[in-house]
Amino acid sequence: MSVIATHGTCCINAFRAVRSGHVRCLAAMNNDQLQERDIYQQTPLHIAAKLGQLGAIDVLMRRVPHTADAISLCGENPSLLAVGEGQSKCIERLLSGNLKTVSMRAMQRDMNGTSILMAAVAREDNDTALWLLRTFGKPLAMLPNSCRMLPLHVAASTGNIEFIRIATKYDSQMANHRDIFGCTPALYAVQGGYLTCLRYLVEKAKSDINAVSDKGQSLLHVACLSGHAHIVRWIMQRCVPNAILWPTKDGANAIHCAAYSGSVVALGVLLEAIRRKKRRAVLAIRDSLGNTPLHLAAVNNHVDAAHFLLAKGANPVLMNAAGQTAEDISRMKSHIQLARLLRLWKDKRHRQNGRMTITSKGESVLGTLARYSSGYESALSQTLATESSRIASPLLHRQLSSGHSSCRDERVLRIYSGEEYRETRPLSLIATDEDGRIYSNLSCQTDPDPLDHNIRFQVVGLDSWRGEGLSAFKQTDKVENCGYRGRSVSFDEKHIGMATSHQQQQFAHFT
């Protein structure tokens, strides 16, 4: 690398000239200096693309255009680096020229397999993403990363409904593409709580709602684990009744998952589909380590969920394979309040006075949730907000500079009518018992308070379960690693055959 400044310039090399924005110094250098590389094998064009130096890019593309295809140690060319850094104005300059050459440049992936389109979608830059789709079409849209994820998977995980609508038109099978973990885009939509994206993928893009992983996990399991009661309800309306008892290979059903996440509303939706006389037996079903839903609620100190399960007939004296009751687990983990509740519930007097209802102004769980079902192009089927419903409906309509509407499904309820989306904020359901104990349950909400910017959405991951020794959940993957591989088969074809003989008897008994 040259350390002597060129005569008449103030910059000792092209990298200094680019970082300083000295285009005249850059133009005065020879071609050898313009194509030098740093310790990361980046050229001056990489730095110009990263910093968004349009003048420097023009000089370098005119003098040393072949550096636009130079690859750094991270596998990035200047175009990929520009998109990753959000320098969208540089893309058209870097991808100009012969279409065949430019197409090869656009198909470059970094060391993780991230393509230029996937980087744009990950940054939620729809202007750049849609321009890339129009320019390079299906080959770029179907280019996976090293985990076999498509840009559509990323869009579903962020609720980018506008990109999903356009991208799925390039290939009819894109919505059923599975990554290395077996995840379809619909799974990522469920994990993030994006019902609008899920509905579009299933109803319009024909994503298979029955897709399961090789661990036996379904969309319903993930919705329950994530605590998205509105998605649980939507899936339940489209599944056979015995889907609630659909076991994973670890023997966990949807009720186990909802109890572990502590979602009282999700538990209410699931249990309303089961006859009252059968609920006690359903709540006694164990996973492969003998844990009932009450055990799993006790693990995470979900007092409200445990109280709800007890009121629905859960038996607090049942032991798991380790000989522990739910109260034993609570005491072992120092969950004093829950341990006291479980101990008192064993007394018949408290059991009789402890029945709990989930209500919002006198409505049932399903009746309340029905008031804010989310969807696309379904304004006629929506219940519009009223003062009594306590749902605010501010007009939500963002216009991108390219003219495309930004219709990202941001875990909020949208009512679509014509060209506009209306956003509604879901209700907080209230749980009360007959003794007058009142507490709220927010698990049904699709979005945190939009006025509170400090709230962060927490996604259920492997780290949440590490060390618990729960067979039903210890192998559950992180968001990008959810184990949803496996053939798309119906419940009756695969899972009854996969269940133990004891579980088969339970299926026949409860359904």
Residue 48 lies in a domain: yes
- Supply the pLDDT for residue 193: 94
| Contact by Cβ (8 Å): 441, 431 | yes
Rounded to whole angstroms, how far apart are CA atoms 107 and 93? 16
Comparison of pLDDT for 452 and 104, the residue scoring more? 104
In this structure, of 82-91, 187-196, 320-329, 406-415, the range with the lowest mean pLDDT score is 406-415
Residue 269 lies in a domain: no
477-481: long-range contacts, CB 8 A cutoff, minimum separation 24: 477/181, 479/157, 479/188, 479/191, 479/192, 480/147, 480/149, 480/157, 480/181, 480/183, 481/181
Give the global pTM: 0.69
Pair of tokens at residue 408 = 């990202």
Check pLDDT > 80 for residue 75. yes
How large a percentage of the chain has pLDDT more than 70?
66
- Supply the pLDDT for residue 444: 37
pLDDT digits 0-9 by tens, 466-510: 333 333 333 333 333 333 333 332 333 333 333 444 444 444 444
Report CA torsion sign: 234, 183, 170, 71.
positive
Check pLDDT > 60 for residue 203. yes
Q: Which residues contact 81 (CB under 8 A, 6 or more apart)?
A: 46, 49, 50, 72
- pLDDT grade for 217, boundaries at 50, 70 and 90: confident
- Supply the pLDDT for residue 96: 85
Residue 40 lies in a domain: yes
pLDDT digits 0-9 by tens, 348-357: 545 555 444 4
Check pLDDT > 70 for residue 402. no
CATH number at residue 34: 1.25.40.20
- Supply the pLDDT for residue 352: 53
- Supply the pLDDT for residue 350: 53
Residue 7 lies in a domain: yes
pLDDT digits 0-9 by tens, 435-448: 444 444 433 333 33
**Tokens 């309820």 appear where?**
413
Rounded to whole angstroms, how far apart are CA atoms 337 and 212? 37
Closest CA to 443 of 238, 258, 237, 252: 258
Number of structural domains the chain divides into? 1
pLDDT digits 0-9 by tens, 110-168: 999 999 999 999 999 999 999 999 999 999 999 999 999 999 999 999 999 999 999 99
- Supply the pLDDT for residue 424: 31
In this structure, of 79-93, 149-163, 405-419, the range with the lowest mean pLDDT score is 405-419
| Contact by Cβ (8 Å): 189, 159 | yes
Residue 10 lies in a domain: yes
Tell me what the mean pLDDT of segment 84-112 comes to.
91
Residue 301 lies in a domain: no
- Supply the pLDDT for residue 174: 94
Residue 13 is classified by DSSP as S
Tell me what the mean pLDDT of segment 32-47 comes to.
94
Q: How far is CA 236 from the centre of its chain?
A: 19
- The strand ranges marked E within 116-210 are none
3 state DSSP class of 110: coil
Residue 162 lies in a domain: no
pLDDT digits 0-9 by tens, 260-299: 999 999 999 999 989 888 999 999 999 999 999 999 999 9
In this structure, of 26-30, 240-244, 289-293, the range with the lowest mean pLDDT score is 240-244
Residue 20 lies in a domain: yes
Rounded to whole angstroms, how far apart are CA atoms 407 and 163? 9
Q: Mean pLDDT across the chain, nearest whole number?
A: 74
Rounded to whole angstroms, how far apart are CA atoms 370 and 383? 9
- Supply the pLDDT for residue 369: 37
- Supply the pLDDT for residue 440: 43
- In three-state form (DSSP H/G/I as H, E/B as E, the rest C), the secondary structure along 71-99 is CCCCCCCHHHHHHHCCCHHHHHHHCCCCH
By residue range, what is the domain housing residue 17? 1-93
- Supply the pLDDT for residue 371: 37
Tell me what the mean pLDDT of segment 33-59 comes to.
94
- Supply the pLDDT for residue 183: 86
Rounded to whole angstroms, how far apart are CA atoms 151 and 153? 5
pLDDT digits 0-9 by tens, 184-193: 999 999 999 9
- Supply the pLDDT for residue 58: 94
